[in-house]
Chains A and B, each alone.
Chain A
Amino acid sequence: MDTMTAEGLLLPWPDDDGEPFWEHARRGELRIQACADCGRLRFPPRPCCPQCGSFDDEWRLMSGRGRLWSYVVAHPPLLPAYAELAPYPVALVELEEDPRIRLVGTLTNSVRRPGAPWNAVPPGRLRIGAPVQAVFQVLTPEVTVVRWALCSG
């Protein structure tokens, strides 16, 4: 599997526990691992439930709705491909279903523009608590990533 896009951006390199997340993302679904016994969501994925110890899991479909928990705006020094995109904001989004589940992602200015440039949203528009919606960007035939569209209004 490729470790980088043609532009030199890093692709996710899933481990055994994370692989299902990326499989679901390829199908355009945001699914989070949950305990099949006690029902608790957990992230990052891991072999067993820290609450009840069960090794049985299921991958629960999320609404894709969330809120900005925090963000940074990255400036150089960065890896060359990233330096070309900088400055770019990176968001940490808490999911509506469980605010302890927070996903890192880049931002886009519309749910209809999953492939918008990383700097499509001016950092001045970002506010902690702002609502966002998951969108899916196909990076390669094997890799689809979740990005976050800033909801208007």
Chain B
Amino acid sequence: MLRDRTAIVGIGQTRFAKHLEESEKALACRAVLAALDDAGIEPHEVDALASYTMEETDEVELAKAIGAGDVTFFSRIGFGGGGSCATVAHLAMAVATGQAGVGVAWRSRKRGSGRRPWTNTVQQLPTPAQWTRPFGLLRPADEIGMLARRYMHEFGATRDHLFNVALACRNRANQNPDAIMYERPLTREMYMDARWISEPLCLYDNCLETDGALACVVVSAERARDCRHRPVYVHSAAQGLPAQHHGMVNYWNDDPLTGPAWTAARQLWKTADFGPEDVDVAQIYDAFTPLIPLSLEGYGFCGRGEGAAFTEGGALELGGRLPINTGGGGLSEGYVHGFNLINEGVKQLRGASTAQVPDAATCLVTAGEGVPTSALLLRG
């Protein structure tokens, strides 16, 4: 069992912006060095690396630039934002099994100033895109919009429920000076009048397009006690690729609305000492607002079809039943493939968030839902 045998002891990030001048590689190095400095660990002690398959700065480039030592474990996780939590999970496994001692996970992305991935038509055409792209279903927003419309139809979810999600994230961003939307409040009127992207999803149902990088440092629980900050333990971790799952176009099984969250959740709770009712705060992957109700169901905070109703009455706000995305999330802090959700989870359990949940001791962090995913339960 992984249970509390490893801990996150350092977090680092660059500024978030629509456009940053530096290269993705330089941003990656800055985030990693900041995380190591936060931990009080020298770069030459790093012997494990983990990132996303979509990360452009590879292990060789990163290790030689930051001055890492001999690296004995390195791992990449696929499926875009679905891999975020798995980077920490793989490092935790490597450290817990003695493959390495100091692990660094990172993600650097110039998604704000770079090209939108879906505009690369050559890369997008082979399977399964042969079944979707020729018909104008071009973007992740279209693919998730299709599931969102069905979800609204089956369970009576409305745009107001999706607004509840967008608003909670925006309100937390308004408390976070590092968030892109720090000084930009959102109103219901703005949301309802916003331009469509892919009906039923409007502009505010979509995450930001951000340049930025983040990193964190994983060591054994023993070593964690000697680091600068209070350790944040990796209590349990899971990946999730459900039977007969098809990626973001998960249209070809019995129930497309029961996504990878359900698979990851079963494993996550099976190896944890506590359950959903004991989670103080959650960082839930929010590339699109409908992923929140779907994830709330998958991770067991409510029953199937109840995720939209769960958002009512300020449940996702500070002081609500389950405060989420307390840095602003992908919707309003910055979209860096979900890595900012990991670091925000650590801040909460250190008691250092800009939107601190009083006495937060447990935090769920999730990765991209709708694609093969991963999740972490963190404990303070």
Give the B-binding residues of A (Cβ under 8 A).
3-4, 9-15, 17-18, 22, 43-44, 50, 69-75, 77-79, 82, 85, 87-88, 90, 92, 100-106, 118, 123, 128, 145
Contacts and interface: CB of A to CB of B under 8 A. Distances in A.
B199 A92 contact: no
B131 A70 contact: no
Contacts of B253: 100
A140 B349 CA distance: 59
A15 B252 contact: no
B137 A90 contact: yes
Nearest to B119: A79
A100 B251 CA distance: 8
**B interface bracket (residues with beta carbon within 8 Å of A):** 35 or more
Contact of B136 (A15, A43, A88, A100): A88
A104 B122 contact: no
20 contacts: A15-B130, A18-B131, A44-B127, A44-B252, A70-B146, A70-B147, A72-B137, A72-B146, A72-B198, A72-B200, A73-B199, A74-B198, A77-B116, A79-B138, A87-B196, A88-B136, A100-B252, A100-B254, A103-B131, A104-B135
Given A102-B252, A128-B150, A75 B138 contact: no
Given A92-B146, A100-B253, A102-B252, A73 B133 contact: no
Contacts of B149: 70-72, 128
Given A74-B198, A75-B196, A90-B136, A44 B131 contact: yes
B92 to A, nearest CB: 32
Nearest to B198: A72
A73 B196 contact: yes
Most buried by A among B125, B129, B246: B125
B178 interface: no
Given A90-B136, A92-B146, A102 B121 contact: no
A103 B163 CA distance: 30
A10 B139 CA distance: 13
A114 B200 CA distance: 26
A104 B138 contact: no
Interface of B: 116, 119, 121-122, 124-139, 142, 145-147, 149-150, 153, 195-201, 244, 246, 249, 251-254
Nearest to B203: A75
Nearest to B147: A70
A104 B272 CA distance: 40
Given A10-B133, A100-B252, A50 B125 contact: no
Contacts of B254: 100
Given A70-B146, A90-B136, 8 more contacts: A12-B133, A72-B200, A74-B136, A85-B136, A87-B196, A90-B137, A100-B254, A123-B199
B126 A15 contact: yes
Nearest to B129: A13
B125 A3 contact: yes
Most buried by B among A13, A72, A118: A72
Given A44-B252, A74-B198, A145 B127 contact: no
Contact of B150 (A50, A69, A100, A123): A69
Contacts of A92: 146, 150, 251
A75 B199 CA distance: 8
A22 B197 CA distance: 30
B246 A3 contact: no
B125 A13 contact: yes
